[in-house]
Structure 1
Amino acid sequence: MNQAIQFVDRVEYDNGVMTFYAMVSGLLLPCVIELGINERSDALAHFAQHRFDYEEIAESLIEDEEYGEDGIVKVKSLA
């Protein structure tokens, strides 16, 4: 685990897109997943079940600097 990357306890859901956040060198970096799950409660349950997997994938993408110019990390859905 990279100690320069920390995931904060903030998760948002909007129209099939789940957003969680990583703190990287003092900056808040959004990580988005297009889940395609329409029910908010189902999407949050899915994320809770796979949170550590998503964080691990996002961490790898951040370490490899695979994020957009807008600073958003796009994580593929496990659903």
Structure 2
Amino acid sequence: PQLILMDIQMPRLDGLEAIRRLRALPAHAVTPIIALTALAMPGDKERCLEAGATAYLTKPVRMRGLAEMIEQLLHA
């Protein structure tokens, strides 16, 4: 994929671990990953970025903001 949208609160494997595993794969070492969360807590953004996310958004997501972020990341 050219870009990944990763939900941080997933039932079996949390999004942070999924991001770490993706980053360990050569094919996804530089793929942009946008971390998404509905339950934003202090420090969440930092944890997502430390895990390897390229960007961070909270839900509900403004579609215009998401579209602009995707555009930026795909043309960076």
Structure 1 or 2: larger helix share? 2
TM-score by length of 1: 0.33
Structure 1 or 2: larger strand share? 1
Higher relative contact order (CA 8 A, sep 6+): 2
